[in-house]
Chain A
Amino acid sequence: MNANITDDRPHKPPMEREELREVISLSLWAGQMLLQWGADTARVEETVHRIGTGLGCDWLDIVVTVDAIIATTINNHEFRTKVRRAPLRGVNMARIVAINDVSYQIQQGACDRAQLRRALRAIDQQGHLYNRWLVLVGVALACAAFSDLFGGDAATFLATLGAAGTATFVRQELTKRYYNPLLIVIVVAAVAGGLASVLARLLGSATVATAIAASVLLLVPGVPLINAAEDFINGYAQNGMVRAIYGGIISLAIALGLALVIWLTGVNGI
């Protein structure tokens, strides 16, 4: 088939429509996971392109929005198009690294469609590298370390440790129950701020506000904001705007949770 192509551009060996279908569904699956787990737009587009061309397509045209990907795989005169939704799920660097690895293996011809399907299924099913209690301790220590960097004393450190640890536990439990992400941020900010305020005063801290400020840092939308800036710089202004607004709304949700606590406890942080 396709023997009568008359343009003088170089083409790869012709592919059946069934093969094109498999290529588009696999490359979109990889792109979907990247987008859901915290990759920026340029990485999603480049990786989908690398996988598609590595599996035999001449070219791919890819549109990446913040929660969906549209792609067309092209080989000689044949093409197929597909849309894949990818609502945001969180941040998972291990998955991004794994998909990055497999995309380069495909580019070098070290991985075919069947192997890619197996690899993607394994990536999709891989659990968190660190169990929830390890993450809880790590995040609590990180926030406590922040309280030290902000100039807090030992009582502030302990208060932050307890508040951030409890808040992480609440966040894990609420996330497991599929509550609305913004509602989770508000509730977790209130728990972290409220507990930090009470604990810091009980322990006799001289810097109660520092304990509150450090305890809510576990909610800071660092990845959406950095991705927003990267998208702007790489020329994806629409995605950059959406991500920046999302980061801003999360920050407002943190403030709302804190405001609730301040009204209840009467500590003015400033």
Chain B
Amino acid sequence: MNNVPFVLFVLEDAFWSALAALGFAMLFNVPVRALFWCALLGAVGHALRTTLVAGVGLHVVPATLVACLVIGTGARWRAYVMKMPAKVFQVTASIPLIPGAFAFRAMLGLFALAGMPIGSITEPLQYVAYNLVMTGALLGAIVAGIIAPKLLITHEKPVV
């Protein structure tokens, strides 16, 4: 049975994600009473993605979408309960899911291309393209996921 190590692995993942969300919440001057929920939603979101990718075997993009749907729903709920804009929770909780590593590799690959002879450029170009596409797809999944609950829950006649 490797279930116990896997649970520990996910819990560790949740811990670091909570820390990441908390740090950025402080950078963004989030009110003290909202800090706990930012960290919790960040932990739940990233741990859920890790479970879906490493445990279930889902691709990272749909897994991010599912994680962000959960974050978005949780953010709406906390926004309703605490009478705060949902953005406070959405932005901080989705921070751990930001495709920083993909964006980093895409940018560095792009810069490395500049010094290469034209004949040997195909493979590095593929590398850049792959990382760019992954960055875009993950950003799209994050945004679609955290905004979808609002579009589905609130559809009143606009005020303005």
Interface flags, B10-25, vs A, CB<8A=1, else 0: 0001001101111111
| Contact stretch, chosen from A15-23, A95-103, A108-116, A197-205 | A95-103
Question: Does any Cβ of B come within 8 Å of A217's Cβ?
Answer: yes
Shortest beta-carbon distance from A235 to chain B in Å: 10
Are A138 and B23 CB-contacts (below 8 A) given A62-B160, A229-B143?
Answer: yes
| Contact residues on B (Cβ < 8 Å of other chain), bracket | 35 or more
Do B108 and A268 have beta carbons less than 8 Å apart? Answer: yes
The A-contacting residues of B in range 73-126, CB under 8 angstroms, are 83-85, 87-88, 90-91, 94-96, 98, 100-101, 103-105, 107-112
Shortest beta-carbon distance from B112 to chain A in Å: 7
Do A145 and B19 have beta carbons less than 8 Å apart? Answer: yes
Do A94 and B100 have beta carbons less than 8 Å apart? Answer: no
Do B16 and A233 have beta carbons less than 8 Å apart? Answer: no
Question: Does any Cβ of A come within 8 Å of B2's Cβ?
Answer: no
Q: Could you tell me the dominant secondary structure of chain B's interface residues? A: helix
Which A-B residue pairs are the 8 nearest by beta carbons?
A142-B23, A255-B107, A229-B143, A138-B23, A213-B104, A145-B16, A138-B26, A145-B19
Do B112 and A270 have beta carbons less than 8 Å apart? Answer: yes
* Distance between Cα atoms of A55 and B142 in the complex (Å): 38
Q: Which of A43, A143, A259 contacts B111 (CB 8 A)?
A: A259
Shortest beta-carbon distance from B76 to chain A in Å: 14
Do B112 and A268 have beta carbons less than 8 Å apart? Answer: yes
Question: Does any Cβ of B come within 8 Å of A25's Cβ?
Answer: no
Do B46 and A222 have beta carbons less than 8 Å apart? Answer: no
Do B107 and A226 have beta carbons less than 8 Å apart? Answer: no
Do A270 and B127 have beta carbons less than 8 Å apart? Answer: yes
Shortest beta-carbon distance from B12 to chain A in Å: 8
Q: What are 24 A-B pairs with beta-carbon distances under 8 A?
A: A93-B31, A93-B85, A93-B87, A94-B31, A129-B26, A129-B29, A129-B31, A130-B29, A134-B26, A140-B23, A141-B22, A142-B23, A213-B101, A213-B105, A216-B100, A220-B98, A225-B143, A251-B103, A254-B107, A255-B108, A258-B104, A268-B108, A270-B108, A270-B112
Q: Which of B31, B32, B85, B94 contacts A39 (CB 8 A)?
A: B85
